[in-house]
Structure 1
Amino acid sequence: MTRTRPRVVAFDVNETLLDLAPVRAALVEHGEPAELLPTVFARTLGTGFAATVAGAWCRFRDAFEASLAQLTGLSAAQRADVADRFLELVPYPDVEPALRRLTEAGVRVVTLTHGSPGVAEAGLTRGGLGALVERTLSTETIRAWKPSREAYLWAAGVCDVPPAQLALVAVHSWDVYGAQQAGLTGGWAARAERVFPPVFGEPHVSGESLPDVVAGLLDLPDA
């Protein structure tokens, strides 16, 4: 299927738009190594994925704190403090030019996360980017984690566009793959991963940075 220029672009939030540095710093403050964060974050995703596949659901925050309990000796209060730092995230430097180029091109911008409500809003506001985003979407509303098909189709419905006219941009290959399997256009930025796994095929659009991916999406032919 030939991909066309999207009418709406949805961005993943954690690690795509917002830097988890404050969460990493909180781990260090409580005596844990900074290098532990990727493992904790991956365990959090695995917990949420398992719940969704099994037909259940859990909040991102609960999965995150459970992962901290599994991997650290932190107390409940310390785990809560680390989780609270998600409200202190700031955008990566390449976020503003990417969002601005889309809005100047007349393409609507939203966020799509399975993270806790309020995290995207807080980070975008802190970075002065709130006006560039039409709305923030958390799949907590439908109790399903990405990359479930339901999550992407729900986002398309909320944005009132067919799946083919919604693009999902993320630095996580599994997220882009899930979006493409649901009929969305996928855009992968190679900030967090060295390669897009061959088992997932190829992303529809890819680039080294978010502005590179946005440029590729805007270069797609009009429907």
Structure 2
Amino acid sequence: MTSVETVTFDSYSTLLDVDAVEAALEDAVENPRPISQHWRSRSLMYTMVANEIDAYDTFYAFNRAALEHALETHGVDLPESEREEILATYHDLRVFDDVQDGMAALTDAGYDVYVVSNGNPEMLASLVETAGIDEYIGDTISADEVETYKPNAEIYRHAAARTGTPIDAIAHVSAGFFDVLGAQHAGMTGVWLDRGKVPWDGFAGDPDATVSDIRDVTDVIQKRD
């Protein structure tokens, strides 16, 4: 196996806690949990369907459409100003506690670190500021650059080109099973970040490695090398 030179990270649910959007819904709806879950699952569905029917739009636009669908499905009618305020929480999500220390360990060990995300550039700029990871990452790489979403192989190949790293020398870390499988299919080492919320979806194989904390990524990669 080619030694890992570069480590890429997914953003939402990996570095940032998307469950925090429930807090933004609490003041507007009586039961935010099902709306929040519907919103997130629909948003991801839109990206994958868009890949297949050439209907690309920015992730933020899909996020808006998914929120509107979730609200309508659950019979909630909110004015546009409130919907936009809820959407804006994606610019200020809570950062998981292991992010900065985990990335610092990787850079100290000599790995190049990047973020590869479905989020559009404005969302990723907010992510870097919120997470305080600017000193650890080489850059953020957005699906917007190729107008293709995960798990399509094109975005991972584009990430390899942007980082200047052979694709088989990249380890991609994500809490999303589909993202890990997509990275593996494209030729990367797939590392599943098990946040303890759902089991691994094993219908198409297993991750190359599993961690429960970003601070463990360095050790796992070095052991595989």
Please, what TM-score do these two structures have when normalized by structure 2? Answer: 0.90
Paired with 1:116 and 1:46, the residues of 2 have a C-alpha distance of 17
Q: Is the 8 A contact 1:100 1:132 kept in 2?
A: yes
What SS class does the counterpart of residue 161 from structure 1 fall into? coil
Q: CA deviation at 1:193?
A: 4.3
Identical aligned residues as a percent: 27
1:215 pairs with 2:219: yes
1:8 pairs with 2:6: yes
Paired with 1:161 and 1:21, the residues of 2 have a C-alpha distance of 33
The verdict on how the C-alpha distance between 1:32 and 1:140 changes in structure 2, with shifts beyond 3 A counting, is farther
| CA deviation profile, 1:142-189 (whole Å, cap 9, x unmatched) | 111111010100000111111101111000111000000000110001
What SS class does the counterpart of residue 90 from structure 2 fall into? helix
Matched residue type, 1:9: V
Match of 2:22 in 1: 24
The residue correspondences of 1:1-223 to structure 2 (distance < 5 A) are: 2=1, 4-31=2-29, 33-35=31-33, 36-72=35-71, 73-191=77-195, 193-221=197-225
Paired with 2:188 and 2:14, the residues of 1 have a C-alpha distance of 18
The verdict on how the C-alpha distance between 1:66 and 1:155 changes in structure 2, with shifts beyond 3 A counting, is same
Q: CA deviation at 1:78?
A: 2.0
Paired with 2:174 and 2:56, the residues of 1 have a C-alpha distance of 22
Paired with 2:89 and 2:161, the residues of 1 have a C-alpha distance of 31
The verdict on how the C-alpha distance between 1:32 and 1:156 changes in structure 2, with shifts beyond 3 A counting, is farther
Paired with 1:50 and 1:152, the residues of 2 have a C-alpha distance of 18
Q: Is the 8 A contact 2:196 2:212 kept in 1?
A: no
Q: CA deviation at 1:21?
A: 4.9
Matched residue type, 1:160: G
Paired with 1:74 and 1:58, the residues of 2 have a C-alpha distance of 23
User: Structure 2: 5+ residue runs without aligned partners?
Assistant: 72-76
The verdict on how the C-alpha distance between 1:178 and 1:127 changes in structure 2, with shifts beyond 3 A counting, is closer
Choose 206-215 or 57-66, whichever is displaced more: 206-215
- RMSD of equivalent CA atoms: 1.7
| CA deviation profile, 1:113-158 (whole Å, cap 9, x unmatched) | 1113233332332343210111011111111111101010000011
Paired with 2:161 and 2:46, the residues of 1 have a C-alpha distance of 26
Please, what TM-score do these two structures have when normalized by structure 1? Answer: 0.91
Choose 183-192 or 119-128, whichever is displaced more: 119-128
The verdict on how the C-alpha distance between 1:82 and 1:70 changes in structure 2, with shifts beyond 3 A counting, is same
Q: Is the 8 A contact 2:22 2:32 kept in 1?
A: yes
The verdict on how the C-alpha distance between 1:61 and 1:214 changes in structure 2, with shifts beyond 3 A counting, is same
Q: CA deviation at 1:218?
A: 2.4
Paired with 1:218 and 1:135, the residues of 2 have a C-alpha distance of 23
Q: Is the 8 A contact 1:109 1:132 kept in 2?
A: yes
Paired with 2:210 and 2:68, the residues of 1 have a C-alpha distance of 36
Paired with 2:21 and 2:201, the residues of 1 have a C-alpha distance of 27
Match of 2:74 in 1: none
User: Structure 1: 5+ residue runs without aligned partners?
Assistant: none
What SS class does the counterpart of residue 129 from structure 1 fall into? coil
Matched residue type, 2:53: A
Q: Is the 8 A contact 2:10 2:116 kept in 1?
A: yes
Q: CA deviation at 1:88?
A: 0.9
The verdict on how the C-alpha distance between 1:173 and 1:126 changes in structure 2, with shifts beyond 3 A counting, is same
Q: How many residue pairs were aligned?
A: 219
